[in-house]
Structure 1
Amino acid sequence: MNRKTVVLLSAVTAALLVSPAVSAQAAVSNDAALQARLDAEEARLQPQRQALQGYFRQAYARYPTIPVGTLEAIAYVQTRWMDLQPDPKRMQGERHGHMPAAYGPMGLYAGEGFADQVTEGARLLGATPERVRRDARLNVLAAAALLDREIRSDTPAIRAGRQVRRPESIRPALMRYAGFAPAQAAADGEIANYARTSFAYDVLLAQDRGVDDRGIKVPERPIEWEQAFDMAQLVKLRAPFVRLDVANDRIETADYAIDPVTETLKDKAPARATASADGDGPDMGTMSTDYGPALWVASPYHHARSSYSSVTIHTAQGSYGGTISWFQSNPYSVSAHYVIRSSDGQVTQMVRNSRAAHHVGVHNNTTLGIEHEGYVNNSSWYTTAMYNSSAALVRNFCGKYSAITCANAYDGPAHNGVVVLSTAIDVKGHQHYSSQTHTDPGINWNWGRYYDLLNPGGGGGGTTILDSFEGSVGHFNTSPTYSGSTTGISTASSASRTCTTRRNGNCSLRVLLKDNSASSANWAVRLLSGTGSPGSNAPLTRAGGSVGFWVYAGGSGMSVGLGIDDSDGTERSVTRSLAANSWTYVSWSLTDAGQWNAWVGGNGAITAATVKLDAVWLYRAQTAYDVNVYIDDVQINH
């Protein structure tokens, strides 16, 4: 792929233009350096994450009111299981922009505009705030004590000594536990409530999907979403109803129905959801009118802008819900146009495109700002879903505003500090502007990968690996039974990264299929890519392209296929039979209509210039035996 040559400018030097060959060599070197950092980070965090599992067990023993899995999910939502110890010097230099600092593996706040969870948790434990900040075990126990108090305050059964069994029932307690700023006035209450609702939803979502990645383990536990939120909230949150058999058990009322492609609850009257989203009112959770896939939650911090000439990439130094809350009420008048969630790429817009958000100082009037959930020193936040969702948003900007060109995005090595880039670079980081102290998105942001997502198919040939499973499960971060379209297998089935069996590199995706003994249905497994949401998947260019992967079936009778999200719906491929106990490369041409059948809303052919991979389908006649299937190097070839 031909990448744009980038000119870096600093206060004392101007970099030289380099040849395409040198640029390609630099890209390879950048990728290798980033992978080395990621490997080192994983090795460093493994012992911490292993110790955390013991601390969680201790906390559940001490506070049995808390449903098992909840603490792991909170730690995942707040810190990705990393012991946060903010640098006081860095905090002092960047305090004006970032949300309140969080501490320990549970990400407890210590005031500064949010609740002082550290001090209150320490009081409940009889410990000092400093120990709760610094001691990971006490940090977990303090979080458990705070949550236990909230659960007991509104659950009579708990006060009588009985245990809560279902995590859905503690949704109100989770919202109060979140620690965000309290509502300042009645008009602000609904908006602030949305941030707390988002936090509770994220905690339940982590349990619903389960997490088993790089030492982080959140037990998978199906969530009964309709027991936790009302229908209107579920639409706003884009909540998954994937535990339902959408073919036979469709939820449908006069106002709501299940979308069989994304398997989320949809409002049948979208005009009702967008009617009030004019950009300046106290609306919350409605559809954005600037960017269709986004939710709209207003921030009060914005002013008139003069032009559009660039896009600024930020890392929030905080969670998704916390960032939304902070942009609604903070003493520094900071905001950004959009906030993106790490786990699934959900987008919330907070300032209309036509207004200037307060995110990059003297450059506010000419740049659109995107905050990405997470912390610069933990690469776990920069997920495939986040990169894809963010790139889709920026491609929308490039198509809408002539002064912003995706081909002029930065495509060089990641930086640790402030490195000022030329004004000719249209898409770059907060750290790349003049007059800045912030250093986000930092050393772990993969600019080469991001550039390729902004400019799909730019090279006109070659192979693009969508998922290699070397560092993570990539797009395939849900279990085989997560889709309501899956039949025949039990919820004990799993999908996880393994480094013992692989075709290329060091690792692959292991899909363990277990029969559902209560069903005689044949196995049809919709192994979702990007959790089934088209916005979370990488764009695939149709022209001359084929999509394929390496697959190893540990048993006979298996066949595979693909689902592709096209402009008119979703198409399913014809199937390919697999030989047992050997690696096979399977692929499907995007231009051959004979290889595709209509599924949901489709026409039996790939017609759009750019499409998305919906799922890998796995098929077998019903059997009582377990079957392992390994998938490696999911790719598109031009």
Structure 2
Amino acid sequence: MLLPLLSAAPPAGADAPEEGSLQGQFTRAAARTGVPESVLLAVSYLQSRWDGHGGAPSVTGGYGPMHLTDAVTALKRSAPHHSDGEEDARGDSSRPARTEAPVPSAGRLPGRLRTLERASALSGIPAEELRTRPGANIEGGAALLAAAQREAGLPASADPADWYGAVARYSGADDAATAAAYANDVFDVIRTGETRTTDSGQVVTLPAAPAVAPVTGQVAALGLRAPAAGPVECPRTVACEWIPAPYEEFGDDDYGNHDKADRPVSQSIDYIVIHDTEATWDVTLGLVQDPAYVSWQYSLRSSDGHVAQHLALKDVGWHAGNWFVNAKSVGLEHEGFLTSPDSWYTEAMYRSSARLVRYLAARYGIPLDRQHVLGHDNVPGTVTSSIRGMHTDPGPYWDWAHYFRLLGRPIVPSAGPHAGVVTIRPDYDAHRPVYTDCAAAGTACAPHGSGAVRLHTAPDEDAPLVKDVGLRPGGEDSTTGVNDTGARASTGQSFAVVERRGDWTAVWYLGQKAWFHNPRRQPTAVNGRGLVLTPREGLAEVPVYGRAYPEASAYPAGVPVQAVSPLPYRLLAGQRYVVGDRTPSEYLFAPTFDTTGHAVVRGQEDYYEIQFGHRVAFVKAADVRVSRI
């Protein structure tokens, strides 16, 4: 919420801090405003990890290290996530596709999206400087914190513990639980400390202060609302409210926007799918509450990490474009835009998301690895005709390495230099491959860190990229397009090594020998061990599937048999792929609004999930031999 403007503000112009080291700019802003430097540093870390992003706005229109918001730019977006492209979010070929809905208006901008104008009024620094000069931006954020402390009737104490309420107010949250969760994260950063090299190449350090015990009762005096009551399923460390998705019948056997189920009694929950929304927060909530649209379990807000739950976890959302995955997964939509490299995600959202995923993984026994925590861009098409329409979010700019550190499962080597398995893990900030098509077709995207590597047909940067016959049946090469997943491997994905040659490593990928640049001095992968599979003896190749459906004989009367259709790829004898899990064949039959006729069909056939390309795939257990390397 916007705080009322103070009657007096610090002088403008010459009093704005001079540019210098980023660490020094925090020190000077703290001294000028009376905000403890540790509080200023920790708030900035939670918003931006001290990055400036070259003056580009975040997904919620936030600028600079302090994430001062001027969200008009964020509302110029169009084509929300599941309304763009050809993918049927439900992913059940036995029912009509469900992809489009009207885009609701975002309405009047709330105060949390307009903090830059208030920072300008308080500090006297012009808005353009707050957007583009890191030192000015830090000064503006410090002015907001100092104003919040004064308006609470509290002195500018040198003890960071006395600033809990001001930090909670800085979050912009309009409910007490989210404001408190945000402040708790800030003070966790203060207690543990951080050191990081920013996107401008500067090292910033916040020394650990483990004894700081904030005055948490200050939140009660802020007058914030309670979150919407409801049957939320969230950890206590996440601020979560209930904004339900509708279950509504339209007639003519049509209904929306999800399916009733009884998971995990009816089916196990094995996957968590990470999405970005391609829309602002208000638009996202409007869409998921539209009975004619599609659905997912949780939405996460970028500015402060707030979580809204829309479906009971026992029910099935329509989000991944693959009915087998939908029936066995939980979908998390993160406010963001794939094709805008510097429309960055906040640390607050990463942390909130990681706590939610840890909770879900513990509740359902889901392993915290990249075979079970999938991006939407890792979910396979169900059949050949659906491959080209599958979505590509959260894309190459989602920081999987940082995310898995927050999950408590950092991606680290587990074997020596001659290991038979590698797991992709470039240095996200330093690794900046060129992508195209963010703003316009054929135009290079802004340089930006990435967690993905490219795969070539030979150990040479000039060699063609490997081909994806599912995406391009005509045999055309893959491209550097930001939405082209045909020759891409992302952080956390593991592959079997074929050969190593100098600074290059070859792996099995989409039925091909594929090379990626992996120099010893700046490796883009770590070595490891794992289970791999290969066609059993006597088979020259085995089919690859996009879903693990039962054999025809398993279907009872009244349930139409679902085709077990292979994808257009070849897994050849001698090739090896890393195994994610062994899964029984299942099909959730849920074609009607009335749930009495719903059923889960289980077959005798088992499948293995494998990391086959950028997307996972399934092979029949009877077709392969598994070993450990």
Q: Same fold (TM over 0.5)?
A: no
Query: Normalized against structure 1, the TM-score is what?
Result: 0.39
Q: Which has the larger radius of gyration?
A: 2
Q: TM-score, normalised by structure 2?
A: 0.40
